[in-house]
Amino acid sequence: MAVLSMHNFNSTKQAIYFFFFFWGFAIKIPMFPFHLWLPMAHVEAPTEGSILLAGLLLKLGSYGFIKILVSWFPVGCIYFLPLVTAMAVTSIIIASCNAIVQADFKRLIAYTSISHMNFVVLGIFSHSIFGLVGSAVLMYAHGLVSSGLFAVVGMLYERYFSRQMEYYSGLIVGMPMLGSFFFLILLGNFGFPLTFNFIGELLILIGLAHFNFYILFLSAIGLFLSVVYSVLLYNKLMFGNLKPFIRQIKDITLMEFHCLFSISFYIIFFGIWPMSVLECIYLGLSQCIVR
């Protein structure tokens, strides 16, 4: 990696190499039309596997964009910029709309991961230090939020052996602790102020404002839809009358409390004090700007 980073590729090679590297990383993100593997993988995976996949493995695609495509092939970034932004915006809107109509809440969370990771892609290719830093921040924040959401899904599945939202209702009555942590994590999921996700999304929006107003507007639609599916998910699970399917309600255990408290704490802590990580991220990414 160190040797290749010092090599100067001509414009033609940059475009060719960018093209082939891009498809590999686009599948990993994933981006439309290569996104369908992620919901299927999450549904079939155990809770631990989903947390590992969403919290860590998806970030390898965006890391490759920053480390290889933006750093090594700036000419290719400019040449294929319309293709990349079109795919990212399409992925955000399609994934958000799919999340709204899902009946399986684990599949719903998987589609939210697609939407947020493509928002990261827009920040990376915004040609702005604000967007680049915001994308790195959102990568960290999404790792926390998605891990927390999949943890909540796993806790409910272990108790009631179903992921269908139609079987759940009124859980806040018997599980107030789970409902409180779930609410905090969902606030981060749609970028509510004072959450870590808000910092990343705000920086990306600033970068897109300097880059292209139309891309900014279309990506903002995805942010609005994230509020819609987050509120619908919480409303369906936590409010209303208890369903007959739920006979015995047990709130979270001490181990589950520690897990959700740790995730919620960092989502709020970094949202209130973002400079604790922004300086380190800026120093690491300031050399990756495409001029």
Q: How many CB atoms lie within 10 A of CB 6?
A: 7
For residues 90-104, b (16+ Cβ closer than 10 Å) or e, as one string? bbbbbbbbbbeebeb
- Distance CA(124)–CA(134), nearest Å, equals 8
DSSP 8-class letter at 195: S
Burial 258-267 (b: 16+ CB within 10 A, else e): ebbeebbebb
* Residue pointed to by tokens 């920040």: 123
State pLDDT tens for residues 65-116. Answer: 988 888 888 888 889 999 999 999 999 999 999 999 998 889 999 999 999 9
In whole angstroms, what is the distance from residue 204 CA to residue 251 CA?
Answer: 37
The label of the residue with tokens 């802590």 reads 269
> What's the pLDDT tens digit per position in 137-169?
999 999 999 999 999 999 998 888 888 888 888
